Amino acid sequence: MGYLDELNDVQKAAVTTTEGPVLVIAGPGSGKTRVLTYRIAYILEQGVAPWNILSLTFTNKAAREMKERIANVVGDKVHQVWAGTFHSVFAKILRYNADKLGYPKDFVIYDAQDSKNVIKSIISEMSLDPKVYSPNAIAARISSAKTNLIAPSKYELHEDLMAEDRAARRPYFYQIYKRYMGRNHRSGAMDFDDLLYFLYWLFRKEKSVLEEYRKKFKYVMVDEFQDTNFLQYSILKQLVRYDGSPENICVVGDDAQSIYAFRGATIDNIFGFEKDFKNVQTFKLEQNYRSTNYIVQAANEIISYNNRQIKKEIWTDKNEGNKIKVIKTSSDAEEAKRVVDSILEQKNRNHLKNKEIAILYRTNAQSRIFEEYFRRYDIAYRIYGGLSFYQRKEVKDLVAYLKLTINPNDGEAFRRVVNYPKRGIGKTSIEKLSKYAEAEELSLWEAIDNAPLPARAKDSLLKFKLLIKGFQKKMATVPPSDLARFIFNASGLRPILVADNTPEGIGRIDNINSLLDGIKSYEEQDLIAVSQDEEPKTLTGWLQNISLLTDADKDAQNTDTVTLMSVHAAKGLEFKSVFVTGLEEKLFPSFMSMESNEALDEERRLFYVAVTRAEEYLTLTYAESRYKFGQMTYGTPSRFLSEISTEIVESNVVERPLRTTSTVQGSFKPYLPKKKLPKRKIPNFKPSSIDDIKKGVTVMHEFFGKGKVLQIDGTNDKKVATVYFKDMDKPERRLMLRFAKLQVLS
């Protein structure tokens, strides 16, 4: 067992403690994968049959890599270990027992798009408004119900859930849910959530099946336990918690890296593990093998501010390293330029390769301005975990309308949007139009007037033509950014995107706003010019620049690329140099987290994940202004910046509101978290309507107390109130009214 000599003392203890419940708290860069790998190898070497081991991960890639590493130690028998994702392993069990659930053994598995197509057809059959009953929102609601084990028959008995649906103007959701489940069952189909949902009920109703798998899986291991949801943990407890069970379960995770609440993950699972299982043996992997001391110290300081956490102190025996660089810029455009300049400096001075560098951001829409500068400076890059900004569907759809406005003979743009949003122009009609256009040597646009088409399709095409002509008239009278915003609204794209309030849907709206902001920025300054010639800023000029920016990569095989990614996508990765960008209040942390301590804690964990991706160089940037929703907005530095000691920071900011500390290398002690603001006991407290909150009124807030509204900015659901709370240390607060919960007193 020479491989055990590769482990430090705590790692070795976690590997060799195989009996009973085990909790491994694995800090960033602490050798978590090695511990999991060697633990399975160790159990196999104790004579345990491989099929008696269940190892659950969140990606097939992680499971595959783990098996490969174990094979290097114990050989081919590792392939008989039950190792895979929750969904892949559970699907395997369900296939063996599908008949007990009334499903065929060869049931099909619907992906997300299949599920949405079923939902769309049900919404259509029920004659419901798809803008109100957005398929994405309905799919997310169904997923949430299943994750919380609420069957359709039980859903309508939950008055709270039904009240939420009525408030969202979707009172018929439960009927859609019921039809959806029934239709999938008749089709012999399960969606991804069903693979968890039905396994839970299979184990609950078929005790002989549950007993079979309890005997089979004598040792259960779970990676990234902090990312499990309520349903996943419920299934695990069914398998290992019962009378006489040895409870040989080992879960590995880090509460400080729990960042997927929006997907249904609950941090309560890892916090509650020691209460759910008796005599848990806990091991804390606190030595970081990845990062230099300054980066590790910053991470410790940041996470110390969280209210709920499993106490640990990450440490490293690496040298101090480079101080953390903080860069303040006047705008998002300057931020992008400073980041790219810093990358060029690191490449030249420190001989870093592109692939050793990553730019992280809070929202995918932030990638646009960085992409433009990478193209301008001819630096190879890739978007990780998502499409390049200009390849995203919602962006391409709007750009197609802009192209068609300038050049209605653009056949590709025409095909993309002629029936999007739907106008009753089907594939058959487009095929007939294409044949006629080709025979007459006309563009599709030119062929509309005389093509032999059914009356309904012809009428729809003529209306579409009038729509585009209206955009062309508008082009002569308004600047490019106003025209683009007008087209986004008038084309019908906006209602489709606004109706989808899932995290993905909100991200798509963010991308459109970023695109519109880019056009506004182009009008005002020549950021992405391809020549030094000064020309009037027109939509044609902007589109020309975009066409150059989105050319195919010169070297498709080039793997030496700078990585651009959201912080969520960066989890589990590491780079020599990391740039964490957009560190402003209401961006990172997100404005949606401002009124909840739990949400702010998750944002801080997200920042912690970002910081701990860096091995040697960490750069934090923020902008004093950036375009949002077509307007120049002014931001303040993220509160997270003030949670890092000045001694370990190198900054271009003259005065920074950063704390000082007497911390020295090797003697860091975590700071106590800030005292949680108590909720006030307010009799008959009831938040008022947003429309009732006006300048000059007196209001009550559950945390801040009584205050006076000094100013109202924004419109509709983007209204922000400036309120003076005299009893607070920082009396003046900016609150987004849709989240603020204010009661008008007078």
Q: Which residues are catalytic?
A: 32-33, 223-224, 257, 613
Residue with tokens 């949606």: 592
Furthest-apart CA pair in the chain: how many Å?
83
**How far apart, in Å, are the Cα atoms of 492 and each of 467, 489, 511, 630?**
11, 6, 17, 19
Reported as half-sphere exposure (CB side, CA atoms, 13 A), residue 583 has a value of 27
**Residue located via tokens 């585009």:** 468
Helix (H) or strand (E) holding 11: helix 9-16
Amino acid at 494: R
* Alpha helix positions (H), 550-587: 567-570
Residue 701 to residue 687: CA distance in whole angstroms: 9
What amino acid occupies position 165?
Answer: D
Residues linked to residue 736 through DSSP beta bridges, in sequence order: 720
Alpha-carbon distances of 328 from 301, 448, 645, rounded to whole Å: 21, 54, 17
How far are the Cα atoms of 334, 344, 376, 406, 638 from residue 340, in angstroms, in the given order? 10, 6, 10, 33, 21
- Beta-sheet pairing, 53-57 with 219-222: parallel
> What is the rounded (10 degree) CA torsion for 358, 359, 364, 367?
-120
If 0-12 CB within 10 Å is exposed, 13-18 middle and 19+ buried, where does residue 105 land? exposed
Amino acid at 528: I
Using the structure block, give the residue that is written with the tokens 């607070």.
728
Cis, peptide link before residue 104, omega less than 30° from 0 = no
In angstroms, what CA-CA distances link 554 with 81, 350, 379, 381, 537? 44, 26, 11, 11, 28
Q: Would you say 224 and 58 are in contact if contact means Cβ atoms under 8 Å apart?
A: yes
